[in-house]
Amino acid sequence: MQTLTLANIYELQGLKEEALEIYKEILKRDPKNSEAKIAIRRLSGIRKKFLNVNTQMKEFFVKMDTEIEFNEFERWLLRSWN
């Protein structure tokens, strides 16, 4: 079964194309799935230009490749939005 969790695991393992395909399938089943939309933009290179980007965290995101780093980034995002 293709899930967000499986797609995240593929991303963490560096299997970006496989992850992208899963996100696309998820979006076909659930067109309002915002997590899949964001992931597709991220993996497809479709990005908006954002001002005041935290470049340190951006570089961390681009280079992260372990589940621990993924979780650390997720915690940072949650703190940033609150």
Q: CA-to-CA distance for 43 and 6, rounded, in angstroms?
A: 15
* Residue where the block lists tokens 């695991």: 9
Cβ neighbors of 60 (< 8 A, separation 6 or more) are 69, 73
Residue numbers in the chain where pLDDT is lower than 70: 46-52, 82
Q: How do the domains of the chain map onto residue ranges?
A: 1-48, 50-82
The predicted structure's pLDDT at residue 27: 94
* Predicted local distance difference test score (pLDDT) of residue 50: 61
Question: Which pTM was predicted?
Answer: 0.56
